[in-house]
Amino acid sequence: MERKKANDFIKSKLLVRLFSILMGIVLWFAVLNIVNPDRSRQLTIPLTFLNTKALDEAGLGILSVDYPREVTLTLEGRNAEVSGLLEKDFTASVDMKQIVSEGEYTLRILVNSLRNANYRIKSMEPADLKLTVEPVVEKLFNVDIQLEGRLPDGYEIIRTVPNPADMVISSLRSLVASVDRIIVPVDVNGLDRSVSIRRFCRIYNRAGEEIPAFKEKYSVDTNISIARRVGVLPVITGKPAGDSYVSTRTPDPETVLVTGSQDVLSELEWLNTYAVDISGIAADTVYTAYLELPEGVTLVDPANSQVSVTVSVGTLLTMELSLEKSGIRITGADGEVQLAYEILTPSVVVRVKGLSKDLEGFTIDRIQPAVNVKLLKTGVHRLPLEFQGTDGVSVIGSYFVEVSVTEKAEETPEVSPSPNPGVSPGT
């Protein structure tokens, strides 16, 4: 009986203890859920590719361009544990050693934690990486220069040389197969000197679209040679025969291209020829003349060092003009000497010569005919006519007129008669 009571007592105490422990655990979890509850959190981890050299060594490359570069992890755990986790505490990677030939692959993404913490990964997006792999090939393409803009007046591009002139494109087989042409755009707006310009290539497919995979990947140096076009100015010496005159002097070629420093070319408008002697020619004549090159100036075409100069001549026309004595001015008269001057010659026919355009509508008064009577004494004198020169028109020969010089008669003042004294008017 006593033993039974003892056993019942022990059992009751054990139950109490078990109940207390159970209640303690329940209370601990209740407090834990209040103080440090469970929570979930997302972290974005950069995706790393391992052993990429294996692809290069195998001559392979990834064709896919839209594969994910990041992995999103959803973590679960106690707030104190999960809140302290950062992106840098994890790595997400794909081992490229799994790729051994071209084709399509689904590679498992491996996530490693760099920090000990009590958490679990609820989900990972994406869990796999799908890639298309192709062999890397090479192909040689011509490089075309595309000039844009406008040079200053008188300047020309004489040569454009891309370096390299042919470019090797190395990439995935399908990308290389899509290449149609390679263009190098070069802006030459306002360019007045030879330069070398480096620019990125624009690589287009057959649809005329630029291929994004090659954007700003390949560059080319373009050597641009600039020249200036200047006029040729023939220089002549001597005069044609007789009444002939030089109507035109025409070089062939009329312009030439030259190179030199920018300072020299900016001031250069034309090149003179060495002087050509045209003395005595009476008809159109063709000469060969050398160009006179300033220091530092070089002809683009050395054959232009000699130019052909055609000198055209014409004959001056003559015209007869009637000069009345009233149209002749008297100059040189001394106002203090009481002399009178009179031109006795009633008229003179004056011959002039000049170009047709200059003689058209020409009148005698334009050459201002005059006689100079300075220091003349009384009497009749034969004096030369003087003419003022007019551009393009000249007087042929010499002309004279007779001039009478006389003393001026003294003027007698008129005297009014005085009335007789003592005689009344009307008597």
* Mean pLDDT of the 22-28 span: 63
The domains of the chain are located at 38-126, 136-227, 234-315, 317-407
Does 94 score more than 90 pLDDT? yes
CATH topology assigned to domain 317-407 = RNA Polymerase Alpha Subunit; Chain A, domain 2 (2.170.120)
> What's the pLDDT score for residue 422?
47
Task: Name the residue with higher pLDDT: 324 or 12.
Answer: 324
Write the pLDDT tens digit of every residue in 194-204.
Answer: 999 999 999 99
> Looking at the domain that runs over 234-315, which CATH code has it been given?
2.170.120.40
pLDDT on residue 426: 43
User: Which amino acid would we find at residue 208?
Assistant: G
The mean per-residue pLDDT over the stretch 158-165 comes to 94
Higher pLDDT, 6 or 287: 287
Could you report the per-residue pLDDT of 172-217, keeping only the tens digit for each?
A: 999 999 999 999 999 999 999 999 999 999 999 999 999 999 999 9
Using an 8 Å Cβ cutoff, are 321 and 363 in contact? yes
- pLDDT score recorded for residue 344: 96
Mean pLDDT of all residues belonging to the chain: 88
pLDDT greater at residue 9 or residue 110 = 110
Task: Tell me which amino acid residue 120 is.
Answer: R
Mean pLDDT, residues 3-20 taken together: 65
pTM of full prediction above 0.75: no
> Where do the DSSP E strands lie in 291-399?
298-299, 306-315, 317-324, 329-331, 339-343, 347-354, 370-372, 379-384, 393-396
**For residue 5, what pLDDT is reported?**
61
- The pLDDT, as a whole number, for residue 396 is 92
Q: Which CATH number fits domain 136-227: 2.170.120.40, 3.40.50.300, 3.20.20.60, 3.80.30.20?
A: 2.170.120.40
The pLDDT confidence band at residue 423, using thresholds 50, 70 and 90, is very low
pLDDT in tens, 382-415: 999 999 877 789 999 999 999 999 988 766 555 5
User: If you average pLDDT over residues 61-86, what whole number do you get?
Assistant: 86
What pLDDT does 179 receive? 96
The beta-carbon contacts of 279-284 under 8 Å, at least 24 apart in sequence, are 279/237, 279/238, 279/239, 279/240, 280/238, 280/240, 280/241, 281/240, 281/241, 281/244, 281/311, 281/313, 282/240, 282/241, 282/242, 282/244, 282/313, 283/313, 284/310, 284/311, 284/312, 284/313
pLDDT digits (tens, 9 = 90+) for 284-329: 999 999 999 999 999 999 999 999 999 999 889 999 999 999 999 9
pLDDT value, residue 356: 86
The helix (H) or strand (E) run that includes residue 196 is: strand 195-200
Q: In this predicted model, what pLDDT tens digit does every residue of 103-160 receive, in sequence order?
A: 999 999 999 988 887 788 889 999 999 999 999 999 999 999 999 999 999 999 999 9
Check if the beta carbon of residue 28 is closer than 8 Å to that of residue 22.
no
Hey, do 38-126 and 136-227 end up sharing a CATH topology, with the first three levels equal?
Answer: yes
Q: pLDDT tens digits for 254-278?
A: 999 999 999 999 999 999 999 999 9
- The pLDDT score that the predictor gives to residue 294 is 94
In this prediction, residue 419 carries a pLDDT of: 55
pLDDT of residue 27: 58
User: Is residue 32 pLDDT above 50, yes or no?
Assistant: no
Query: Quick one: what percent of the chain has pLDDT higher than 90?
Result: 67
| Residue range 38-126 in CATH 1.10.8.60 | no
Span of 24-33, 65-74, 290-299, 341-350 with lowest mean pLDDT? 24-33
Distance CA 323, CA 337 (A): 28
Question: Which residues make Cβ contacts (< 8 Å) with residue 193, sequence separation at least 6?
Answer: 226, 261, 262, 265
